[in-house]
Amino acid sequence: KQEVTQIPAALSVPEGENLVLNCSFTDSAIYNLQWFRQDPGKGLTSLLLIQSSQREQTSGRLNASLDKSSGRSTLYIAASQPGDSATYLCAALRLSGTYKYIFGTGTRLKVLA
């Protein structure tokens, strides 16, 4: 059974810091790994999708990497801003007939001005 863990659960940093969010999954047979952002009470915004054949994806100040062998993905945020404050979720799509995303419990990020 696929389990997805995110560490840390919460993080508070001063504006301008570079930071890394971690995501671990137990089943390496994943199809892809997707990172989302969720603002309080809102839906999810897709940030980056990494296919299983890829090792990383970049979008602006965001960079996500995927290491299937170790069961890890990291989301790197450069030069953090107060507007980055949100909960960040990773989700693993399993390589099987079920094709459902298993979500981590998220990292709640607060960037202080």
Partner 1 sequence: EAGVTQSPTHLIKTRGQQATLRCSPISGHTSVYWYQQALGLGLQFLLWYDEGEERNRGNFPPRFSGRQFPNYSSELNVNALELEDSALYLCASSLTGYGTEAFFGQGTRLTVV
Q: Which is nearer to partner 1, 13 or 28 (CB)?
A: 28
Number of helices and strands in the chain (H, E): 0, 11
Q: How far is the CB of 85 from partner 1 (least distance, A)?
A: 18
C-alpha dihedral sign at 20, 25, 31, 35: negative
Q: Which is nearer to partner 1, 93 or 111 (CB)?
A: 93
Q: Which is nearer to partner 1, 21 or 102 (CB)?
A: 102
Q: What does the per-residue mask of binding to partner 1 show for 34-53, with x meaning CB under 8 A?
A: x-x----xxxxxx--x-x--
Distances (CA, A) of 108 to 29, 51, 55, 84, 112: 27, 25, 25, 10, 13
Q: Kind and range of the H or E element at 112?
A: strand 107-112
| Residue ranges in contact with partner 1 by CB under 8 A | 31-32, 34, 36, 41-46, 49, 51, 89, 91, 93, 97-106
